[in-house]
Structure 1
Protein backbone atom coordinates (compact mmCIF):
# COMPACT_ATOMS: atom_id res chain seq x y z
CA UNK A 1 0.00 0.00 0.00
CA UNK A 2 2.75 2.48 0.76
CA UNK A 3 4.34 1.95 -2.62
CA UNK A 4 1.28 3.09 -4.57
CA UNK A 5 1.11 6.76 -3.31
CA UNK A 6 4.80 7.23 -3.99
CA UNK A 7 4.32 5.88 -7.48
CA UNK A 8 1.44 8.29 -8.12
CA UNK A 9 3.49 11.26 -6.89
CA UNK A 10 6.32 10.30 -9.20
CA UNK A 11 3.94 10.18 -12.13
CA UNK A 12 2.32 13.54 -11.26
CA UNK A 13 5.54 15.51 -11.85
CA UNK A 14 7.22 14.29 -15.05
CA UNK A 15 10.92 14.96 -15.35
CA UNK A 16 10.58 17.16 -18.44
CA UNK A 17 8.39 19.88 -16.88
CA UNK A 18 9.89 22.73 -14.82
CA UNK A 19 9.46 22.72 -11.07
CA UNK A 20 7.41 25.29 -9.11
CA UNK A 21 10.41 27.58 -8.41
CA UNK A 22 11.45 27.80 -12.03
CA UNK A 23 7.86 28.47 -13.09
CA UNK A 24 7.76 31.43 -10.69
CA UNK A 25 11.04 32.77 -12.09
CA UNK A 26 9.78 32.41 -15.65
CA UNK A 27 6.60 34.27 -14.66
CA UNK A 28 8.50 37.10 -12.95
CA UNK A 29 11.19 37.53 -15.63
CA UNK A 30 9.06 39.56 -18.11
CA UNK A 31 8.02 41.97 -15.35
CA UNK A 32 11.63 42.48 -14.30
CA UNK A 33 12.62 43.09 -17.90
CA UNK A 34 9.84 45.66 -18.31
CA UNK A 35 10.93 47.46 -15.12
CA UNK A 36 14.56 47.60 -16.27
CA UNK A 37 13.50 49.04 -19.64
CA UNK A 38 11.28 51.67 -17.96
CA UNK A 39 14.10 52.59 -15.58
CA UNK A 40 16.61 53.26 -18.34
CA UNK A 41 14.18 54.92 -20.75
CA UNK A 42 12.03 57.00 -18.37
CA UNK A 43 13.03 57.14 -14.71
CA UNK A 44 16.79 57.69 -15.05
CA UNK A 45 16.59 60.53 -17.62
CA UNK A 46 13.89 62.28 -15.53
CA UNK A 47 16.08 62.10 -12.43
CA UNK A 48 18.97 63.57 -14.41
CA UNK A 49 16.76 66.46 -15.62
CA UNK A 50 15.58 67.17 -12.07
CA UNK A 51 19.19 67.32 -10.80
CA UNK A 52 20.19 69.69 -13.63
CA UNK A 53 17.19 71.93 -12.91
CA UNK A 54 17.96 72.05 -9.19
CA UNK A 55 21.59 72.91 -9.93
CA UNK A 56 20.55 75.70 -12.32
CA UNK A 57 18.12 77.17 -9.77
CA UNK A 58 20.72 77.03 -7.00
CA UNK A 59 23.20 78.85 -9.27
CA UNK A 60 20.87 81.76 -10.14
CA UNK A 61 22.70 85.05 -9.69
CA UNK A 62 22.14 88.73 -10.25
CA UNK A 63 21.85 89.59 -13.94
CA UNK A 64 20.52 86.21 -15.12
CA UNK A 65 17.53 86.12 -17.45
CA UNK A 66 14.86 83.73 -16.10
CA UNK A 67 11.40 82.46 -16.97
CA UNK A 68 9.06 81.68 -14.10
CA UNK A 69 6.57 78.82 -13.95
CA UNK A 70 3.82 81.28 -14.90
CA UNK A 71 5.66 82.28 -18.07
CA UNK A 72 6.95 85.65 -16.85
CA UNK A 73 10.33 86.54 -18.28
CA UNK A 74 12.64 88.89 -16.43
CA UNK A 75 16.07 89.75 -15.16
CA UNK A 76 17.23 88.78 -11.66
CA UNK A 77 18.21 91.84 -9.61
CA UNK A 78 18.49 90.33 -6.15
CA UNK A 79 18.88 86.80 -4.81
CA UNK A 80 18.35 85.46 -1.30
CA UNK A 81 18.30 81.90 0.04
CA UNK A 82 14.88 80.89 -1.25
CA UNK A 83 13.66 83.97 -3.14
CA UNK A 84 14.75 86.04 -6.10
CA UNK A 85 13.69 89.53 -7.10
CA UNK A 86 13.00 89.67 -10.82
CA UNK A 87 12.63 92.86 -12.87
CA UNK A 88 9.98 92.23 -15.53
CA UNK A 89 9.79 95.80 -16.85
CA UNK A 90 11.50 99.08 -16.11
CA UNK A 91 11.09 99.71 -12.36
CA UNK A 92 8.64 96.78 -12.03
CA UNK A 93 10.05 94.13 -9.74
CA UNK A 94 8.46 90.99 -8.35
CA UNK A 95 9.69 88.58 -5.73
CA UNK A 96 9.46 84.93 -6.70
CA UNK A 97 10.32 81.76 -4.88
CA UNK A 98 13.36 80.25 -6.56
CA UNK A 99 11.70 76.88 -7.01
CA UNK A 100 9.08 78.49 -9.29
CA UNK A 101 11.75 79.50 -11.79
CA UNK A 102 11.40 77.11 -14.69
CA UNK A 103 14.29 78.19 -16.94
CA UNK A 104 17.52 80.11 -16.60
CA UNK A 105 18.27 81.53 -20.04
CA UNK A 106 21.67 81.93 -21.70
CA UNK A 107 22.85 85.55 -21.99
CA UNK A 108 22.89 85.23 -25.80
CA UNK A 109 19.17 84.30 -25.92
CA UNK A 110 17.00 87.18 -27.15
CA UNK A 111 13.21 87.45 -27.08
CA UNK A 112 11.54 86.77 -30.43
CA UNK A 113 10.16 90.31 -30.80
CA UNK A 114 13.42 92.22 -30.20
Structure 2
Protein backbone atom coordinates (compact mmCIF):
# COMPACT_ATOMS: atom_id res chain seq x y z
CA UNK A 1 0.00 0.00 0.00
CA UNK A 2 2.81 2.41 0.84
CA UNK A 3 4.40 1.68 -2.53
CA UNK A 4 1.44 3.34 -4.27
CA UNK A 5 1.55 6.46 -2.12
CA UNK A 6 4.22 8.27 -4.20
CA UNK A 7 2.29 7.53 -7.39
CA UNK A 8 -0.93 8.83 -5.89
CA UNK A 9 0.85 11.97 -4.70
CA UNK A 10 2.38 12.55 -8.15
CA UNK A 11 -1.02 12.19 -9.80
CA UNK A 12 -2.54 14.64 -7.30
CA UNK A 13 0.22 17.18 -7.94
CA UNK A 14 -0.13 16.85 -11.72
CA UNK A 15 -3.89 17.28 -11.41
CA UNK A 16 -3.58 20.38 -9.25
CA UNK A 17 -0.82 22.02 -11.30
CA UNK A 18 -1.79 21.10 -14.86
CA UNK A 19 -5.22 19.60 -15.37
CA UNK A 20 -7.36 21.72 -13.05
CA UNK A 21 -6.09 25.13 -14.26
CA UNK A 22 -6.57 24.03 -17.89
CA UNK A 23 -10.15 22.96 -17.17
CA UNK A 24 -10.83 26.32 -15.52
CA UNK A 25 -9.37 28.16 -18.52
CA UNK A 26 -11.53 26.14 -20.94
CA UNK A 27 -14.63 26.91 -18.88
CA UNK A 28 -13.85 30.64 -18.99
CA UNK A 29 -13.27 30.47 -22.77
CA UNK A 30 -16.63 28.74 -23.32
CA UNK A 31 -18.37 31.34 -21.17
CA UNK A 32 -16.72 34.18 -23.11
CA UNK A 33 -17.72 32.65 -26.45
CA UNK A 34 -21.29 32.40 -25.20
CA UNK A 35 -21.42 36.14 -24.50
CA UNK A 36 -20.33 37.25 -27.99
CA UNK A 37 -22.84 39.49 -29.75
CA UNK A 38 -23.18 41.16 -33.14
CA UNK A 39 -21.10 44.34 -33.21
CA UNK A 40 -18.43 43.14 -30.74
CA UNK A 41 -14.79 43.83 -31.65
CA UNK A 42 -12.80 40.59 -31.33
CA UNK A 43 -9.34 39.13 -31.84
CA UNK A 44 -8.81 35.74 -33.50
CA UNK A 45 -6.05 33.25 -32.73
CA UNK A 46 -4.47 34.20 -36.03
CA UNK A 47 -4.07 37.79 -34.85
CA UNK A 48 -6.88 39.25 -36.95
CA UNK A 49 -9.05 41.97 -35.45
CA UNK A 50 -12.62 42.24 -36.61
CA UNK A 51 -16.15 43.26 -35.81
CA UNK A 52 -18.79 40.54 -35.59
CA UNK A 53 -21.31 40.95 -38.41
CA UNK A 54 -23.26 37.70 -38.07
CA UNK A 55 -23.25 34.15 -36.77
CA UNK A 56 -23.50 31.31 -39.28
CA UNK A 57 -23.46 27.56 -39.48
CA UNK A 58 -24.92 24.86 -37.34
CA UNK A 59 -25.28 26.05 -33.74
CA UNK A 60 -23.74 29.41 -34.70
CA UNK A 61 -20.35 27.71 -34.91
CA UNK A 62 -19.03 30.23 -37.45
CA UNK A 63 -18.66 33.98 -37.18
CA UNK A 64 -18.66 36.49 -40.04
CA UNK A 65 -16.12 39.21 -39.24
CA UNK A 66 -15.74 42.61 -40.88
CA UNK A 67 -11.97 43.12 -40.88
CA UNK A 68 -12.01 46.60 -42.39
CA UNK A 69 -12.63 48.36 -45.69
CA UNK A 70 -15.63 46.12 -46.34
CA UNK A 71 -13.57 42.91 -46.24
CA UNK A 72 -15.38 40.08 -44.51
CA UNK A 73 -14.09 36.68 -43.46
CA UNK A 74 -15.70 33.68 -41.83
CA UNK A 75 -13.91 32.05 -38.89
CA UNK A 76 -14.79 29.25 -36.52
CA UNK A 77 -16.24 30.60 -33.30
CA UNK A 78 -13.73 28.51 -31.32
CA UNK A 79 -10.86 30.50 -32.87
CA UNK A 80 -11.91 33.76 -31.28
CA UNK A 81 -9.53 34.59 -28.44
CA UNK A 82 -11.67 37.29 -26.93
CA UNK A 83 -12.74 40.89 -27.15
CA UNK A 84 -10.21 43.26 -28.67
CA UNK A 85 -9.12 45.73 -26.04
CA UNK A 86 -8.51 49.33 -26.99
CA UNK A 87 -4.96 49.12 -25.63
CA UNK A 88 -3.75 46.58 -28.18
CA UNK A 89 -5.49 47.87 -31.30
CA UNK A 90 -3.49 49.62 -34.01
CA UNK A 91 -3.40 53.39 -33.45
CA UNK A 92 -5.42 55.43 -35.95
CA UNK A 93 -3.39 57.13 -38.63
CA UNK A 94 -0.45 54.79 -38.12
Q: Give the direction of change, closer, same or farther, for the CA distance of 1:109–1:77 in structure 2 (3 Å limit).
A: farther
Scaled by the length of structure 2, the TM-score of the pair is 0.81
Higher strand content, 1 or 2: 2
| Counterpart in the other structure of 2:23 | 47
Aligned length: 89
Unmatched 5+ stretches in structure 1: 1-24
* Residues 1:111 and 2:85 are matched in the alignment: no
Structure 2 counterparts to residues 56-75 of structure 1, below 5 A: 56-75=32-51
2:39 alignment partner, SS class: coil
Higher relative contact order (CA 8 A, sep 6+): 2
* Residues 1:77 and 2:53 are matched in the alignment: yes
Distance 1:112 1:91 in 2: 18
Q: Which has the larger radius of gyration?
A: 1
Distance 1:62 1:110 in 2: 21
Measured against aligned partners, the alpha-carbon deviations of 1:36-91 in whole angstroms (never above 9, x if no partner) come to 11111111010010011011112211121111121111111212311111111121
Distance 1:30 1:110 in 2: 46
* Residues 1:98 and 2:80 are matched in the alignment: no
Contact 2:50 2:66 in 1 (8 A): yes
1:55 alignment partner, SS class: helix
